[in-house]
Amino acid sequence: MSEPLLLIVDADSTRRHHLIRACLLAAPGMRVAGAGHASEAEMLLDARRPQRIAVADGVENRASVIAKARITGVDCLIFAAGGGSFSEMAQQIISGIRVHPPASVVTYGAAISQLILIGASTGGIAAIEKILTTFPADCPPVLLVQHIRDGFAEGFVRRLDQILAPQVRVAAEGVILTPGTIHVAARSDRHLGVTRRAGVLRSRLLAGPPVAGHSPSVDVLFSDGAALAPEIDVRAALLTGMGADGANGMCAIYDAGGHTIAQDRDSSVVWGMPRMAVERGGVSEVLPLNRIAAALLRTGEAARAPAPLR
């Protein structure tokens, strides 16, 4: 089977050239083509049948390209031009490529009403897989911090992307958060966060010392989520793990009106991080692992009184 063909559509010829080069360097053997405008992209969609088309957010008549991609069953990604270095943008695009991608279209700037945040440590990899295997392909955007040894995060992301319905990506700077995507912190020298710019939610990577003893830190991610909780439905789960990372951030989300979930003692490998969040009064629900996915996907539920210690 030949390598997947990626079509990059960007009116800026210099940026398009550098982005194509970055994609080729990041994935040797992959085929990449470029188009400078919507009509050229539509012609190449017919002529070359790419597996994925990545369209810069500033391309004119972008909607016509999206519509044609929908008709032809090509997976379409809208990327933020200038949203990070060329290598970061290339990794973001490449991480979504599948040989047999779903016939889905991600629309740029769609209003996001719900955001899911997950933090875990010891025992978290298996717990995360169990939770996310039930998530539909169009789930709310998910940001995830799992404490993991250097060199293992990328493999974790690849495995999740193979077994889950949503697309799983290595978190990058300035990426627009869209439904059906899961962004995983993979750099030990950067914290993962989230921000809103011009009404659009974007991931962000922050340099800085470890927080609560960790980098990336769940507390940093949850603290950013707390800032958004008054505006959208932020739902956070703190899973099995040793220590207290995430407990303060979860309290902040709870206080801001978000919905917070702690994994219970019996289903946790180590009931440390969730217990600390419960003890500090920042948890809406304490749930066994097999009930957390449904609670994260619920909508319109305000924070409740702190859950009892279990």
Please report the beta strands in 80-190, taking only residues with DSSP state E, as ranges in sequence order.
Answer: 114-120, 142-146, 167-170, 181-184
Nearest to 265 by CA among 254, 255, 278: 278
Q: What was the pLDDT predicted at 3?
A: 62
Q: What was the pLDDT predicted at 56?
A: 84
| Distance separating alpha carbons of residues 85 and 87, to the nearest angstrom | 5
Query: Token pair 């801001």 is at which residue?
Result: 256
Q: What was the pLDDT predicted at 309?
A: 57
Q: What was the pLDDT predicted at 293?
A: 97
Q: What was the pLDDT predicted at 45?
A: 87
Please list the active-site residues.
Answer: 121, 147, 245
Burial class (CB within 10 angstroms; exposed 0-12, middle 13-18, buried 19+) of 36? middle
Query: Token pair 């990058």 is at which residue?
Result: 172
- Is the CATH code 2.40.260.10 the one for domain 114-297? no
pTM recorded for the entire structure: 0.67
Nearest to 180 by CA among 137, 143, 142: 137
Q: What was the pLDDT predicted at 104?
A: 38
Q: What was the pLDDT predicted at 111?
A: 60
| Distance separating alpha carbons of residues 219 and 104, to the nearest angstrom | 33
Max distance between CA atoms of the chain, in angstroms, equals 61
Q: What was the pLDDT predicted at 220?
A: 98
Query: Token pair 């809208």 is at which residue?
Result: 78
Cα radius of gyration rounded to whole Å, the chain: 20
Q: Examine domains 5-94 and 114-297 and report if their fold is the same.
A: yes
- Is the CATH code 3.40.50.300 the one for domain 5-94? no
| Distance separating alpha carbons of residues 301 and 67, to the nearest angstrom | 35
| Residue ranges covered by each domain of the chain | 5-94, 114-297
Each residue's pLDDT expressed in tens, for the chain with a length of 310 residues: 456 788 999 988 888 888 898 888 888 778 899 999 988 998 998 888 888 888 887 788 777 787 777 777 777 888 777 666 788 778 777 776 543 333 333 444 446 789 999 999 999 999 999 999 999 988 999 999 999 988 889 899 999 988 998 889 899 988 888 888 999 999 999 999 999 876 688 899 999 999 999 999 999 999 999 999 998 999 999 999 999 999 999 999 999 999 999 999 999 999 999 999 999 999 999 999 999 999 999 976 554 555 655 5
